[in-house]
Amino acid sequence: MKKLLFILIISLFFLPVLYAGGNSEKDNKGEVNSISEEIPAHNNEAVSADEESSSDENADEEKKKRKRSGISDRIVEITLFHADVFFANNLISAFDVFKETIEFNFDDLSKGLRFNMGAMIDLPSFRFKSKKGWGFGLYTKAEVYGVVDIAGEMLRLQTADNAKSVLSGAAFASASVDAFFPVNKFTLKIKPSVYYTLMYIKPEINYTFNKENGIILDLNYDIMAYTPFPLNGEGFSLSALSAKPGADISLGFEYPISRAIGLYNKKPFLDFDIGVDIKQIPIVPSSMSDYMRVSGRIANDDPVTIEDNFDAIGKFIDDLGSNIYNSENGNETLRITRPFKTMLWTAWRPIGGKRILTLNFSVGFEINKMYDKLFSMEGGFGAKFNFGNIFMIAAAVNYTDRMWVNSLDLTFNFRVIQLDLGVNMRSQDFIQSWKGAGVGARVGMKIGW
């Protein structure tokens, strides 16, 4: 599936070049119009100064037609609030929960138990977008994530050698300055951020089980929960604050390749933009020092068999329960970076370059220290219908943050006020993502003029 998606995206990137027939860059200087929504350069009907001075009558006529349809984008925009929440697992779906009799196949436990949850809240923010194609914004955000990944061997007491499980979490608060501006036919984007880590859980869970020459069981865990100040029962004070802020930066560009190489003039249904977004490049890591540590071990040092006498079996049981739980508070510096992502995307407007329909494709990767395997591929595809910039509906299937997410989003835009609503089904398993093994929702409101 991932290989197929990768081939599809690469093909779409190079399709305009193959059709261009060697046209020079000066053949067409039309309007740039991407619908990617991560950084506010997108959905902009403005053109660069170079494009405005073009003598291309067809491009000017197209520009006039598009300006007459629907309402124009806001120049000044204030986000009053925007919130996303979700949870997902890989085993139990909504269909299972609502059955009269819940059926569960224990063989499915061999896949492991995975659970993700999260919530993101965009606090009041501001954005300015000029008619010349440049703009800036100020943003604040709070986010929290939790990850559980229990090894299938441990759940089924199967033979394993140091099988790892994950129980991690993180919470961040951040403030960002966002800017975008045209350079020739490119739109460049830059977004530096300062963030505080409010909570970070660092796990170490290992499971070993062997019964070749007698039963050997070793389950050990060591979980450290870092906090901004000591959890010693004395309450919070600024003088006790040990957490320090970090900084990262996001960069990106977008390029109207079809219009730049003149393909749009010859074949208007092949109207593509392409772009790259590189998110949260670490500059200075955040740090935390105060932690609460919980550790323990369920293990036997000597193998035991069914044939052993009661004394050996008794010692086996005693060994297992001798060191189950320990806790302590301490101080040890941990440096923390937010997840890093790189995404290549393309936006295709097949109906003569009009915004009424845009097809989106993306492929990229993530590096996230909250997981045992740091690296993961990401990608997806979707469609967005835009009716006069007043009502928009978008549907997409994405693999992101180790989950399949099937989303449906609605936007009601009355220029002065805009309401965003969205729902999704998700899961770490593709089939389960269509059965409601996880759900998510988002709601937001913006005002502007």
Q: Which domains does the chain have, with CATH numbers?
A: 2-448 (2.40.160)
Query: What tokens does 252 get?
Result: 């990106």
Average pLDDT over residues 379-395: 96
pTM of the shown model: 0.81
Region 391-403 average pLDDT: 97
pLDDT value for 109: 86
Give the per-residue pLDDT at 321. Answer: 67
Q: Mean pLDDT across the stretch 215-221?
A: 88
Whether residue 147 has pLDDT greater than 60: yes
pLDDT bucket at 6, cuts 50 / 70 / 90: very low
> Does 67 score more than 90 pLDDT?
no
Reported as a pLDDT band with limits 50, 70 and 90, residue 201 is very high
Q: What is the pLDDT of residue 306?
A: 60
For residue 256, pLDDT over 70 is answered with yes
Q: Is residue 12 pLDDT above 70, yes or no?
A: no
**Residue 26 has what pLDDT?**
36
pLDDT of residue 34: 35
Per-residue pLDDT, averaged over 22-49, amounts to 37
The mean pLDDT of the chain is: 83
Which residues are paired to 320 by β-bridges?
Answer: none
Q: How confident is the model at residue 236 (pLDDT cuts 50, 70, 90)?
A: low
pLDDT of residue 406: 98
Q: What percent of the chain has pLDDT over 70?
A: 79
Amino acid 95: pLDDT:
79
Banded pLDDT at 302 (limits 50, 70, 90): confident
pLDDT band for position 308 (cuts 50, 70, 90):
low
Q: What is the pLDDT of residue 48?
A: 36
Find the mean pLDDT for residues 247-274. Answer: 95
Reported as a single tens digit per residue, the pLDDT across 311-360 is 666 666 666 667 788 999 999 999 999 999 999 999 999 998 899 999 99
41 pLDDT more than 70: no
Taking residues 394-420, report their average pLDDT. 97
